[in-house]
Amino acid sequence: MKEKYDLIVIGSGAAGMMAAITAARNGKTVLLLEKLSKIGTKLKATGGGRCNLTNTLDNETFMARFGRDGKFMMPALEAFDHKALIAFFREIGVESHAPDGYRVFPVTHSSSTVISAMETEMQRLGIEIRCSQKVTELSYTDSQITGAETLTDTFKAEHVVVATGGKGYPVLGAEGDGYGLAESVGHKVTEVFPAMMPLKTKEKWVANCTADTIAKVAITVNMKKYKRLKAQGDLIFTRSGIRGPVVLDFSREITPLLGKYEEVPVLMNLTKGMNEEQIRSHIKKEWAKNPHRNTLEVVSTLLPESVSRELCRLAEADPAVSFGKLEGRTRDRLISLLAATPLTINGHDGFKMAMITRGGVSLKEIDPYTMQSRKIKGLYFCGELMNLDGPCGGYNLQWSFASGYTAGLLLAEGKISSPQ
Ligand SMILES: Cc1cc2nc3c(=O)[nH]c(=O)nc-3n(C[C@H](O)[C@H](O)[C@H](O)COP(=O)(O)OP(=O)(O)OC[C@H]3O[C@@H](n4cnc5c(N)ncnc54)[C@H](O)[C@@H]3O)c2cc1C
């Protein structure tokens, strides 16, 4: 153990390891502190163990998917975009590819490859890694960081990178410790919400539709003020609600609303975006092919049978009756339900099941060119800890790596940047 390091990195996730490697490659002495007994625990779980490292979008499109504050990422992405990330991993022996032309994975489709390559690189660079070291306090004097304290030790450095992640999936290490550390030195932390998770619904009928994935479902918030909130993708009904890629993406918009309103009404189009007119004409054609088919059979040409049966029930349309024999009003009800199926989101499983956290350390007090605190010299933030979150598809790891890279450059070298 050294008496003093150039840099202490707190947290061995994607952001922290990248910050440590970057600083060490620039000749700095680095200590990496991790509270769990192993490094990279969350990284290991990413992409269902396959690790969706990044995606092939250009920086503008990428940033737009993070919402209004996405522009904050510009300098970090310019310094370390997906091409730089792919090149970095190639250099340390991890080849990657994008089987769908969009999401990038290691060719091994194993996150272990990524972690062991980063660990080997950290060892090569002489980075001191200390696991089972939970940082409890940041040390500083006169707006200059001086080190960090763990439950058992005190470590000194003129630069400290806090890369402790968000609050989701606490079993994987990130439990929100970084918010307390940031607040303890005067940084603001926004309200945080669990995101990227399954959602629960008030309607119990979903439990009867659990078997199938429904492709290209469009979901819109059905509240006047929030009609602009939409998402599209595959959806799966569960025993208590909905899950699947579209739900994971949409949940980051819904959980803050649930905090405010307790229930969030949504409308789903389960028919690949067909409007009422298109549904009517599709059904007419299907029925004309075989007028003896009952309503359930006709509707099932659009949707899995279990879902069709539930929508018939909601429309009070007898599924066993020939579609032609349904009353006009009943047909209209059914068609309108097929174009826009209402659901009421009323819950979720909290941070326990949240793949990411919405909210975090306020961006206003961080310099996007260096990731340095605008309050304390030598203090840096990176990764999910900050108030930025992206959808599924390699966004959050790319951001963690890029911000870790930027922080690790220690560009500020202790100089404090002027407040915005
Ligand atoms: C199941 C799952 C799958 C995911 N899949 C993907 C995916 O495929 N692609 C993608 O882009 N994103 C994915 N994400 C999101 C992505 O994993 C995170 O956004 C990203 O890993 C955050 O990296 P980070 O370095 O900021 O934080 P983390 O990876 O959470 O690392 C923080 C580290 O800090 C340590 N720590 C916390 N507090 C302290 C303390 N007080 N002292 C010392 N150490 C501390 C933690 O133990 C942890 O190791 C997934 C998330 C989950 C949960």
**Do 188 and 205 have their domain in common?**
no
| 263 lies in the same domain as 183 | no
**Shared-domain flag, residues 171 and 205:** no
Shortest-distance atom of ligand 1 to CA 403: 26
Q: Decide if 58 is inside a domain.
A: yes
Q: Which two tokens stand for residue 374?
A: 């605008």
Contacts of 255 (CB under 8 A, 6+ apart): 193, 194, 195, 197, 348, 358
Are both 213 and 309 inside the same structural domain?
A: yes
With pLDDT > 90 as the criterion, what percentage of the chain qualifies?
Answer: 93
Do 338 and 369 lie in a common domain? no
> Where in 212-340 does DSSP place strands (E)?
213-221, 230-237, 241-243, 264-269
User: Is 183 found in the same domain as 158?
Assistant: yes
Residues across the chain: 420
**Tens-digit pLDDT profile for residues 326-384:** 999 999 999 999 999 999 999 999 999 999 999 999 999 999 999 999 999 999 999 99
Are 36 and 183 contained in the same domain?
Answer: yes
Residue 185 lies in a domain: yes
Alpha-carbon distance 404 to 383, whole Å? 7
121 and 75 within one domain: yes
Q: What is the 165 CA–ligand 1 centroid distance (Å)?
A: 5
Residues 202 and 78 both lie in one domain: no
State whether the beta carbon of 41 lies less than 6 angstroms from ligand 1: yes
Is the CB of residue 393 below 6 angstroms from any atom belonging to ligand 1? no
> Does residue 415 register a pLDDT over 70?
no
Protein residue whose Cα sits closest to atom 3 of ligand 1: 46
Residue 321 tokens read as 């009756």
Whether 414 maps to a domain, the answer reads: no
State the sign of the Cα–Cα–Cα–Cα dihedral 191, 20, 115, 172: negative
418 within domain boundaries: no
In this prediction, residue 420 carries a pLDDT of: 44
248 lines ligand 1 (CB under 6 A): no
Atom of ligand 1 nearest to the CA of 166: 30
Say how many Å lie between the CA of residue 152 and the centre of ligand 1.
Answer: 24
Domain boundary among 320, 348, 376: 348
How many A from CA of 28 to the centre of ligand 1? Answer: 24
* Burial tier of 205 (Cβ tally within 10 Å: 0-12, 13-18, 19+): middle
Q: What is the pLDDT of residues 14-32, one digit of tens each?
A: 999 999 999 999 999 999 9
Q: What is the pLDDT of residues 60-113, one digit of tens each?
A: 999 999 999 999 999 999 999 999 999 999 999 999 999 999 999 999 999 999
What does each C-alpha distance from 356 to 11, 253, 353, 388 come to in angstroms? 16, 12, 9, 10
**356 forms bridges with which residues in the sheet?**
195
Q: Please answer whether residues 352 and 170 qualify as being in contact, where contact means their C-beta atoms are separated by less than 8 angstroms.
A: yes
Judge contact between 397 and 14, C-beta under 8 A: yes
Extended beta strands in 174-263, E state: 193-195, 199-201, 213-221, 230-237, 241-243
419 within domain boundaries: no
For residue 414, what pLDDT is reported? 53
Q: Is 161 in the pocket of ligand 1 (CB under 6 A)?
A: no
- What ligand 1 atom has the least distance to the C-alpha of 395? 11
Tens digits of residue pLDDT in 190-242: 999 999 999 999 999 999 998 789 999 999 999 999 999 999 999 999 999 99
Among residues 348, 371, 392, which one ends one of the domains?
348
Q: Whose CA is nearest to atom 30 of ligand 1?
A: 165
Give the residues across from 9 on adjacent strands: 32, 161
Is residue 316 domain-resident?
Answer: yes
pLDDT at 259 over 90: yes
Last residue of a domain, one of 311, 329, 348: 348
| Residue 368 covered by a domain | yes
- Domain of residue 202 covers 198-348
- Residue ID of nearest Cα to ligand 1 atom 8: 47
CA of 315 to the centre of ligand 1 (A): 45
What string of DSSP letters covers 81-145? -HHHHHHHHHHTT--EE-TTSSEEEETT--HHHHHHHHHHHHHHTT-EEE-S--EEEEEEETTEE
Ligand 1 atom closest to Cα of residue 54:
11
Give residue 125's pLDDT: 98
Ligand 1 atom closest to residue 150's alpha carbon, by position in its atom list: 42
234: left (phi over 0), alpha (psi -120 to 50) or beta: beta
In a domain, 353, yes or no: no
Q: Are residues 366 and 331 in the same domain?
A: no
Q: Is the CB of 164 under 6 A from ligand 1?
A: yes
- Check residue 319 and give its pLDDT: 96
Task: Return the ligand 1 atom nearest residue 36 CA.
Answer: 47
373 and 344, same domain (yes or no): no
**How many angstroms separate the alpha carbon of residue 327 from the centre of ligand 1?**
55
Number of domains in the chain: 2
Average pLDDT over residues 409-416: 71
pLDDT in tens, 291-336: 888 999 999 999 999 999 999 999 999 999 988 899 999 999 999 9
What CATH number has the domain bearing residue 62? 3.50.50.60
Pairing of strands 230-237, 144-150: unpaired
**Eight-class DSSP state of 416:** P
Q: Are residues 374 and 328 in the same domain?
A: no
pLDDT of res. 397: 98
